Amino acid sequence: MLPTEVQRLLAGTPQAGAWEPVFPLLTADPDGLPRICLLSRAELSPSHDAVCCAVRSTRTTANLRRTGAAVLQVVEGTTSWSLRARVGSTAEDAHGGFAAELVVTAVEHDSLGIPLRPMGFLADAALAALERRDDNAALSPRPTRAAPRASP
């Protein structure tokens, strides 16, 4: 189950003129080395036990298809959460877009009580087109609840 704080941080849409968090999605390349894909809230949609993500990176898409696993990193305040996930349902569009339901199997909470500053970017008016928000909104996998879940 996703903590309420994490659901809140992942929900919403970047607003022009505001600093927005970036969420690293980690997958594994065929040689076993990590691949990082940076996502914004516009590319993520959380639920109580999964996060749907829209990905336009061909390498990340290939890794998600091949391994069926990923880790999404979320940071705020004094806490870092690592969301370990298995790929559930997926969807594709004609423009090279790929969406995956990341069914969370474990949430690793890490904090030493020191203030952390998450990676971020300054959103601008052109961002919606660059992130292909309209395409991403239409590209959504249908949730599946058959994926395995680890106990907390």
Give the amino acid at 73: Q
Q: What is the helix (H) or strand (E) element at residue 8, kind and residue range?
A: helix 4-10
Asked if 57 contacts 97 with a C-beta cutoff of 8 angstroms, the reply is no
Q: What is the pLDDT of residue 130?
A: 65
Residue 38 has pLDDT above 90, yes or no: yes
Helices (H), 58-140: 58-67, 127-130, 133-138
Angle, vertex CA 1, rays to CA 152 and CA 53, nearest 5: 125
How far is C-alpha 51 from the geometric centre of its chain's CA atoms?
A: 6
Instruction: Look at 38 and 42; give whichever has higher pLDDT.
Output: 38
The pTM score is 0.85
pLDDT tens for 64-73 read 999 999 999 9
Give the amino acid at 122: L
Q: Which residues are within 8 A (CB) of 88 and not within 5 positions of it... i.e. 6 or more apart?
A: 50, 100, 101, 102, 103, 141, 143, 144, 146, 147
Q: What is the pLDDT of residue 19?
A: 93
